[in-house]
Structure 1
Amino acid sequence: MNRTLENVVPVLTILAGMVVAWYVAAVLLNAPFQRDLDRRAGETPGTIEFIDKTLSQPKPTMPAPHQVAQNFFENTFLRKITSNRSLVYNAWITLSSTLLGFAFGTALGILIAVGVVHLTALDRSLMPWIIASQTIPILAIAPMVIVVFAAVGVTGLIPKSLISTYLSFFPVAVGMVKGLRSPEIMHLDLMHTYNASSSQVFWKLRVPASVPYLFASMKVAVAASLVGAIVAELPTGAVAGIGAKLLSASYYSQTIDMWSALVAGSIVAALLVTIVGIVGRMVEHSMGARPA
């Protein structure tokens, strides 16, 4: 119980500090517009009334936490799941392309890592290009991918998932390379002493050693995959998804809707990372690892 409190109290303290800082920032950023409104209306409100007005604007520069919370609750629990305004519906649309892109990215990253570890030519020729590919902004790649695939009649889920793949394969490839190379020389020599084949060394030594690295990199990859799916929805003119929700809200200056969609995306990301972590611990436990 004490250990649980030791873990929870710091998190709650930081969260409370963030909420307080959020309220302060909302007052400061919304104040100029509120002063202008009051000046035009010929009003001179007191300090408390002025602060209350800055925290209750319909289209604030920065919405207050309670405004975002209310909007999130309404669009999550008080709307039908099939409604275009439902955050559950929009999150599911984004999640579908995220999961497909994450699956593609993980598989591609593992294949690249296996090739890089076993073939020196790939290590020297392919790895630098893989690293260089991540310097290209995703906002520059996404429209090109969407346009190219639309030209050949492919739209919808596949183009969006490929952008998620582009962001998610890199951390998996790097982490898996590190993991496959993590066995010590002594252990490799021992396998060779027992006349183990290359496949036996790979499956019985390198793969088990790489599992912690793989799942650590998959946590990064699944979050990056979600970012890719959201970005991919921006140039497609999509009518559903977290990215589409952000875009439509920005068109009409619905900042509260924008922040609510961001919160929804953050929750989805946290859930995905948590699920990957749980699966990772289950796999490590099934392989005989001791709980931390």
Structure 2
Amino acid sequence: MRRLLPILTVLAAIVAVWYAAAVWMNATWVFDQAERNGQVVTWAEVIPQTMAQDRPLLPPPHQVAATLWKGVAGQAVTSKRSLVYHSFITFRGTMMGFGLGILFGVGLAISIVRFRVMEMSVMPWAIISQTVPIVALAPMILAVSFQLGIESREVPKAIISAYLSFFPVLVSMVKGLRSPDAAQLDLLRTYSASDPQTFWKLRLPASLPYFFASLKVAIAAALVGTIVGELPTGAIEGLGARMLIGSQFGEPLIMWASLVAAALLAGVLIVAVGLVERAANRRMGVRA
């Protein structure tokens, strides 16, 4: 309970601020309607009306929760209106990009640690790549994919997702692979350990805490990349597509419910990474 109390306190503060903002932003429409009808309304009359608008400027939490519940439990899982269905589409793209990001980030980190020239030539470009806005880069990736004859919309989404997720893995793995101190390296040299043996017996185990810490950032970045990738691809499936549909058709409740669903999906993925980390630590005999 003590561990949950700070989380619940922050959540309660967010909900309170959210309700206050909803009243303030949605009250404009209520006052405008009252003025057109020649009526004078008080705040006691305004507040209930800000909580039940069909298309509010900022939906209050209970309306978003009701729409979210309708999208999750009120539809068949296979329905195109189901948020479970769209969450699975986004989850699939996220895991594809996440896997590619891990492979690319770890492979590049090993090369940088092993070869000095890779650090001098590749690392600066990896850093510069993260300054390019992904919103501007996504349509370019889509156009190039179509020019190469790749008609699947999953591939551009996976590339965009991997683009955002590889960098945290790269930086953390470089730091982790270099974390063994000189005394540990000298000890292995006295045993005539080869470079591959040093890597597998010392560098790789030492990098695991850094690796799992980076995965929690990378999985969230991969989800963001997948959602961003769904916007310019003209996708009709996925949480990003639902957000876009809600925005285009003036349905803020759909947009906000999809946004909350994406946040919940991110939380589940981060918890899953944490469980894998705990299992790996137990396997290696690490005490929490």
- TM superposition score normalised by structure 2: 0.98
1:34 Cα deviation (Å)?
1.4
- Determine if the alignment matches structure 1 residue 24 to structure 2 residue 20: yes
Please give the secondary structure, in 1, of the residue aligned with 2:166. helix
- Determine if the alignment matches structure 1 residue 212 to structure 2 residue 230: no
Q: What corresponds to 1:138 in structure 2?
A: 134
1:285 Cα deviation (Å)?
1.4
Unaligned runs of 5+ in 2: none
1:114 Cα deviation (Å)?
0.2
Q: What corresponds to 1:270 in structure 2?
A: 267
> After superposition, where does 1:84-99 map in structure 2 within 5 Å?
84-99=80-95
Q: What corresponds to 2:62 in structure 1?
A: 66
CA distance in 2, matches of 1:32, 1:137: 34
- Determine if the alignment matches structure 1 residue 107 to structure 2 residue 122: no
Q: 1:284 aligns with which of 268, 281, 286?
A: 281
Letter in 2 for 1:253: G
CA distance in 2, matches of 1:42, 1:81: 48
CA deviations 1:230-260 (Å, max 9, x no partner) are 0000001111101100111001111111110
Q: What corresponds to 2:246 in structure 1?
A: 249
Comparing 144-153 with 187-196, greater Cα deviation is found at 144-153
CA distance in 2, matches of 1:142, 1:47: 45
CA distance in 2, matches of 1:124, 1:207: 22
Q: 2:165 aligns with which of 150, 164, 168?
A: 168
Letter in 1 for 2:108: I
CA distance in 1, matches of 2:47, 2:27: 8
Equivalent residues of 2:31, 2:41 under 8 A apart:
no
> After superposition, where does 1:190-229 map in structure 2 within 5 Å?
190-229=187-226
RMSD across aligned positions (CA) = 0.9
Letter in 2 for 1:255: P
Letter in 2 for 1:288: G
CA distance in 2, matches of 1:234, 1:41: 40
CA deviations 1:25-75 (Å, max 9, x no partner) are 000111112110111123333322210101111111100000000000001
Letter in 2 for 1:134: Q
CA distance in 1, matches of 2:37, 2:3: 50
> After superposition, where does 1:116-131 map in structure 2 within 5 Å?
116-131=112-127
Please give the secondary structure, in 1, of the residue aligned with 2:2. helix
- Determine if the alignment matches structure 1 residue 50 to structure 2 residue 50: no
Q: What corresponds to 2:6 in structure 1?
A: 10
Letter in 2 for 1:176: M
CA distance in 2, matches of 1:46, 1:139: 44
State, as a whole percentage, how many aligned pairs show the same letter.
Answer: 47
Unaligned runs of 5+ in 1: none
1:8 Cα deviation (Å)?
1.2
Please give the secondary structure, in 1, of the residue aligned with 2:180. coil
Equivalent residues of 2:64, 2:253 under 8 A apart:
yes
CA distance in 2, matches of 1:92, 1:126: 35
Letter in 1 for 2:192: N
1:131 Cα deviation (Å)?
0.2
1:153 Cα deviation (Å)?
2.5
1:220 Cα deviation (Å)?
0.4
CA deviations 1:109-134 (Å, max 9, x no partner) are 00000000010000111000000000
Q: 1:36 aligns with which of 25, 32, 36?
A: 32
CA distance in 1, matches of 2:271, 2:39: 50
Equivalent residues of 2:112, 2:123 under 8 A apart:
yes
